[in-house]
Amino acid sequence: MRLLATLLLCMSFSVAWATEANTPKLDIGKGGECVRDTQWMRKNHMHLLKHQRDETVRKGVRDEQVSLKNCVECHASKSDNSVVAREDSFCAGCHRYEAVKIDCFECHASKRRAALAKKDEQ
């Protein structure tokens, strides 16, 4: 019980000390108005994408507003048109910062095999 209380206390301090200064600097592409507010998207985007995947793949319902294609069109870098190509790419940079594996583009990439092979070499 003490260990749990200590862990919760440490987590609350780390959240309290987090500032914009220590967040990743990302290439946000066009950016602009998102389908939800920034804090909500940071916390819940994966649920939104999974829900949309289920609606599209299993039911045939396509909602362009919350499609992965729409996200990429908005957040792809203006320099290389990618959200995963570089350290500061929108998706890859944030997932790397949070130490979370990004697996969307194992299927959703025009150059999937080449991109995966290159990442494995690094």
Mean pLDDT for the stretch of residues 5-20: 48
CA angle 63, 67, 70 (to 5 degrees): 115
Rounded alpha-carbon distances, angstroms, from residue 49 to 2, 5, 14, 120 = 37, 33, 28, 25
Inside any domain, residue 10: no
Q: Among 85-89, 93-97, 105-109, where is mean pLDDT lowest?
A: 105-109
Q: In whole numbers, what is the pLDDT of the chain averaged over residues?
A: 77
Inside any domain, residue 75: yes
Give the tokens for residue 91. 């998706």
Inside any domain, residue 71: yes
User: pLDDT at residue 63 above 60?
Assistant: yes
Inside any domain, residue 3: no
- Residue 95: which pLDDT band, with cuts at 50, 70 and 90? very high
> Domain total for the chain?
1
- pTM here is 0.63
| Amino acid (one-letter) located at 89 | S
pLDDT for the residue numbered 16: 42
| Amino acid (one-letter) located at 102 | I
Instruction: Please tell me the distance from the alpha carbon of residue 90 to that of residue 44, in angstroms, as a whole number.
Output: 16
Inside any domain, residue 77: yes
Inside any domain, residue 87: yes
User: pLDDT at residue 17 above 50?
Assistant: no
pLDDT for the residue numbered 50: 85
| Amino acid (one-letter) located at 121 | E
Range of the domain at 67: 23-121
User: pLDDT at residue 9 above 60?
Assistant: no
Asked if 101 contacts 95 with a C-beta cutoff of 8 angstroms, the reply is yes
Inside any domain, residue 12: no
Inside any domain, residue 11: no
